[in-house]
Amino acid sequence: MQGEIRWLQALRGVAVLLVVLFHVALQERATIPSMQYLEFFIYFGYGGVNLFFVISGFIMVYISLGRWGYRAQWRDFVLRRMIRIYPTYWAVFLITVAVFSGYYGKQSCLGGDWGKTIGAITLARDPRDMCFVPQAWTLHWELLFYLTFSAVFFVGHKWAIRLGVIWAIASAAVIAFARDGVSEDIFNYCIYNLHFLAGAALCLFYARTDLRYPVIWVSGGALLFVLAGILNSRGMMDTEDTLHRLAQFVPASLMLLLGALGLEKRDIAVPTWLLLIGNASYSIYLIHLTTFLAFRRATAGMVHTPATHLIWVIGLVAVAIIPGVLIHYAFERPAIKLGKRAIPRSSLAN
C-alpha cells in the first residue's frame, strides 16, 4: 500500500474540528453559562479523539504492511513516528510556556515537580494533570501503541495478525473481567488498544472490499456520533467512562472511516478547506487550548449580547484553526522533511 488517502486527511480534519468545537463549548460554559450556542458539542465533540485513535490504527498498517517481518525496517518506522510527534509537540510546549509566563509571571502550574515535567516533555507519562498542553495525553497512548505495534517488523505477516488477535482478545478480557483488579492506566491502555486495533483490522480488509455506498457509511457514522450526544446529554451514558466512549465512538468512527475510504476509491473531490484543516490537524490539536487562553484574556472585558457572543464564538474557532495551520506550514512540515532526510528512505510513503 502506498500513496496519500486524501479523504483520510479530510477525516482527520473532521476529528480535530469535533475536538475544537467541544473545547469552544466548554469555554462558553465557563464564560457565560446562560448563552451557550455550541452546548451540544460538550456531549459528543470529545469523540473526535476516539476517531483519531481509530484513524491512527489504520494508518499504521497502511504505511507498514509490506515491510512486516523485515527487522531492518523497525528503526525506520520508529524514528519516523518520533519525527512526526516530538518536534511539533516541543515547539507548542515552548510556546505555551511563554504564554503562561507572559500572563502569570513567575507563577508555574508545575509546582516544582520535575518528574512530572520531564514525563510530560518526553510523553513518558500521561500529562493530563498538567496545565501545559494537557490534550497531549493522547500522544502518550499513541506512542505506547506505536512501540507495541512495531513488533510486526520482527515477525512475519501471519504471525503479526495472530498476535494482533491475541492482543485484542487480551485487552477485551481485561476490560470485561478484570476492571477492578488492574490499575486505571492498564485498563485505559486496553481500551485504547481496541481503538487502534479496530482501525488496523479495517486496513487489512480495505484493499479487498469494494466499499459501496460511501455516503451511507458516512451518514451512518455521523448519525451515531449525534446519537451519542443525545444519550450523553440525557445522562444515559457516562461521558467520563472510557468503556462507554469505546462503545459509542469506535463503531461510529469505523463507519466514518469506511465512508471516507469509499469516497477515495470513487475519486470524489475533497473540499479544499477540509483537506487544509486535515493536513494541519496535529498542529491545530496541540495549539488550540493555548490560543484559547490568549483570546479569552484579550476579550475578558467584552459584553456578551447574542450578537457579540456569536462573534466571540467564531473568534474562538478562528484562533484555534488559523495558528494551527500556520504552525503546520511554517514548522511542522519543514521539521518532518528535515528529519526524514536523516533516515534511509522507506519503500512506502507515509
pLDDT value at 348 more than 50: no
Q: Assess contact for 201 and 161: CB atoms under 8 A.
A: no
What are phi and psi for residue 162, nearest 5 degrees? -60, -45
Residue 248 lies in a domain: yes
User: In which band, very low, low, confident or very high, does the pLDDT at 106 lie, cut at 50, 70 and 90?
Assistant: low
The pLDDT score that the predictor gives to residue 350 is 45
Residue 350 lies in a domain: no
Alpha carbon 271 to chain centroid distance? 21
pLDDT tens-digit series, residues 201-243: 999 988 777 788 999 999 999 999 999 999 999 999 888 888 9
Three-class SS state of 207: coil
Residue 348 lies in a domain: no
Q: Rounded to an integer, what distance in angstroms lies between the CA atom of residue 62 and that of residue 200?
A: 8
Residue 48 lies in a domain: yes
Into how many domains does the chain fold?
A: 1
Q: Assess contact for 203 and 61: CB atoms under 8 A.
A: yes
Residue 1 lies in a domain: no
pTM, 2 dp:
0.94
Residue 46 lies in a domain: yes
Residue 347 lies in a domain: no
C-alpha cell read off for 141: 497512548
Provide the residue range defining the domain that includes 155: 6-341
Q: Rounded to an integer, what distance in angstroms lies between the CA atom of residue 289 and that of residue 347?
A: 37
pLDDT tens-digit series, residues 275-299: 999 999 999 999 999 999 999 999 9
Helix axes 281-298, 306-327, angle to 10 degrees: 140
pLDDT value at 184 more than 90: no
Residue 147 lies in a domain: yes
> Which of 36-40, 90-94, 122-126, 192-196 comes out lowest in average pLDDT?
122-126
Alpha carbon 110 to chain centroid distance? 24
